[in-house]
């Protein structure tokens, strides 16, 4: 069981590295990186941190680069929320955020 956890941790680290790379490398490599990352996530059933989860559209499951393939807005209502709009399929995903300095 402990061993399994360590494997998961390593797998998660690998996925994060891949996604970081994907954000900073030309398109050709991005697809390969994303495919590998997706395979690892499914294989180990990883729970991705939000920063990485928001890189995938909830609707079309594609990799979306913030500012390029997706639009991120902060909601103006009382509840602080991020609105991530996928430019590929138009799906908007809302994520409630609590600020550290939340007043
Ligand atoms: Zn989408």
Q: What is the pLDDT of residues 14-73, one digit of tens each?
A: 999 999 988 887 776 788 899 999 999 999 999 999 889 989 999 999 999 888 899 999
| Torsion (CA) 6, 7, 10, 14 in degrees, nearest 10 | -160
The two beta strands, 81-86 and 70-74, are: antiparallel
Predicted confidence band of residue 91 (pLDDT cuts 50, 70, 90) = very high
Residue 3 has pLDDT above 70, yes or no: no
- 54: CA distance to ligand 1 center in Å? 11
- Containing structural domain, residue 83: 59-103
- 18: CA distance to ligand 1 center in Å? 20
The closest alpha carbon to 84, from 68, 76, 95, belongs to: 95
67 and 101 assigned to the same domain: yes
86 and 69 assigned to the same domain: yes
- 6: CA distance to ligand 1 center in Å? 32
63 and 97 assigned to the same domain: yes
22 and 67 assigned to the same domain: no
Predicted confidence band of residue 74 (pLDDT cuts 50, 70, 90) = confident
Q: What is the CATH number of the domain that holds 10?
A: 1.20.5
- Structural domains in the chain (count): 2
- 5: CA distance to ligand 1 center in Å? 32
Which residue would you say has higher pLDDT here, 26 or 10?
A: 10
Share of the chain above pLDDT 70, in %: 90
- 102: CA distance to ligand 1 center in Å? 30
């Amino acid at each position: 069981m402990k061993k399994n956890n360590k494997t998961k941790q390593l797998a998660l680290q690998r996925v994060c590295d891949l996604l970081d790379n994907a954000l900073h490398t030309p398109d050709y490599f991005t697809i390969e990186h994303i495919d590998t990352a997706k395979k690892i996530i499914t294989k180990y059933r990883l729970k991705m941190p939000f920063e990485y989860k928001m890189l995938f559209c909830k609707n079309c499951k594609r990799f979306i680069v913030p500012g390029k393939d997706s639009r991120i807005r902060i909601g103006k209502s009382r509840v602080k929320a991020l609105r991530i709009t996928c430019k590929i399929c138009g799906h908007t995903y809302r994520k409630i955020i609590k600020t550290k300095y939340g007043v």
